Amino acid sequence: MSAWKACDLRGKYPSEVNGDLFYMIGRSSARLLPAGSTVLVAGDFRLTTPELKGRLIDGLQSAALRILDAGSIPTPAAYFAHRSLQTAALFVVTASHNPPGYNGLKLMVGHEPPGEALFTALREGLDGAPAPALGSVEPYDVISAYRAWLTGRWRRPLAKFRSPVLIDIGHGAMAGVASAVLEALEIPCQVLFAEADGRFPGRSPDTSRARHLEALSDRVRKSPAVVGIAFDGDGDRVAAVDGNGGYITSDQLAILLSRKMLATHPGGHVVCDIKLSDAVRRAIQEAGGVPVIERSGHSFIRQKMRQLDAIFGCEASGHYFYRELGGGDDGLFTALMILELIVEQGPLETLAAALAPIFATSDLRIPDGVLPFTEIVERLRLALPVLDEVTIDGVRFRTEGGFVLARPSVTEAATSIRIEGHSQPELARLVECAVGALGEVAGNQINNG
């Protein structure tokens, strides 16, 4: 059951996720829904998605459900359809940013983000016994309405944006969708890794690391594009490079977008995942907002967004959440928000250069097979000059020079590490201390990050 994560299902195919498991999940899910309910099913472009989606639908058909099959689409488009159609449930077969050999499932039963109770109920209801197909299945075109919504939403704010944009699809689910929206808005764009390909031959589907966007940065430097936008495998994460090809970190983007949102919603709550820099929280406070720290993971951020009616939410991984989307996230929506930011405030490189420097590592991963989470925590606790600990999500060790965060990843069998210093020398000292505590193999993971 290692594929069961805190917010979704994710694992290697076929050892951790396979058709039989997806059939059982479909049957278990169907038992949680009233007869006659309408549910939406979609998937990404991974090579195993058609099989898994088909078996999931077979399982869902064991109840008298009306099943809308949206085909292969970006996850945000599926969320859009779930909101607009008010379907009883949503199932998206995707492994998001994970490597090609993985697959998984994002789901909503009702309109609340999935939580522990839902996953417990699904696991307790797993039953592989065959059942008659009582439900109906029909194709449903989500993309036409999704494109029309985004085009209408952004036509006036981006009416004056006519500078070229370079978008990096990464062979993911935004193929053909992001470019069509920009073209409808009359924004000139070029597309990198444009074709959907579940093998992801051009680059990693993970956009959270600068090294995965080197091709985008290089193309932007050689082109007249004023910004480069990259999407992850299923289109809900986004990353950006400026007009000089410089990587804009998720911390920087979180600050810029938080300020933008607070300019029209003064005093609003902004939900920040615990991995983000302290600079993000300080910037929110300086802009008159209320930063709220939450554990990392899209379900947890969305739950807190809805609980507080927050205006905005941000994660170090590149997810950005909006009250306008019911607390949800959408990579293309954020990309258009970035273009509006440029219209209002100027080039991205100028805005980023005006921010105070942030001295932090990226989100580093130490596989469980290298060191288990509990041992990592104990080694760090003994090695660091700890002032206090925050345990909302893993353990965040605060020191006089910064912090070291260690937390179990919600998407991988790994410990996520992030280190921030108040200056470059203090960051270097904390990294050196962590490497010394965790040993050569784990230390190499940090140094290579």
Q: Which domains does the chain have, with CATH numbers?
A: 9-141 (3.40.120.10), 146-244 (3.40.120.10), 250-332+343-353 (3.40.120.10), 359-448 (3.30.310.50)
Mean per-residue pLDDT for 7-24?
Answer: 94
Mean predicted lDDT score pLDDT of the chain: 95
Task: Read off the pLDDT of each residue in 272-297 and give the average, rounded to a whole number.
Answer: 96
Structure-model confidence comparison of residues 214 and 368, the more confident one: 214
Pairing of strands 9-12, 165-168: unpaired
Coil, helix or strand at residue 196: coil
| pLDDT for the residue 1 | 46
* Cβ–Cβ under 8 Å, residues 145 and 177: no
Confidence of residue 446 (pLDDT cuts 50, 70, 90): low
Per residue in 41-64, pLDDT (tens digit) is 999 999 999 999 999 999 999 999
Region 224-247: mean pLDDT is 98
Answer whether residue 265 shows pLDDT above 80.
yes
By annotation, the residues acting in catalysis are: 96
231 within 8 A of 238, measured Cβ to Cβ: yes
Enumerate the β-bridge partners of residue 227: 165, 242
Q: Please enumerate in sequence order all residues whose Cβ is within 8 A of that of 383, keeping only pairs 6 or more positions apart, or say none.
A: 433, 434, 436, 437
Q: Is 237 a residue whose pLDDT tops 80?
A: yes
Q: Taking 70 as the threshold, does the pLDDT of residue 448 lie above it? A: no
Strand partners, 418: 405
Q: What is the pLDDT of residue 214?
A: 98
* 157: number of Cβ within 10 Å: 15
> Which residues are registered as beta bridge partners of 146?
none
**What digits encode the pLDDT tens for the residues 387-444?**
999 999 999 999 999 999 999 987 778 899 999 999 999 999 999 999 999 987 666 6
Measured from the Cβ of residue 447, the count of other Cβ atoms closer than 10 Å reads 14
Letter string b/e over residues 69-94, b meaning 16 or more CB atoms within 10 A of that residue's CB? bbebbbbbbbbbbbbeeebbbbbbbb
- Band the pLDDT of 364: cuts 50, 70, 90: confident
Nearest of 13, 65, 76, 14 to residue 42 by alpha carbon: 76
* DSSP state string for 98-145: S-TTEEEEEEEESSSPP-HHHHHHHHHT---------SEEEE---HHH
Give per-residue pLDDT as tens, 316-362.
999 999 999 999 999 999 999 999 999 999 999 999 999 999 999 88
The answer on pLDDT for 285 being more than 60 is: yes
Report pLDDT for 107.
95
C-alpha span between 316 and 337 (Å, rounded): 18
Q: Both tokens of residue 81? A: 């359809």
DSSP 230: E
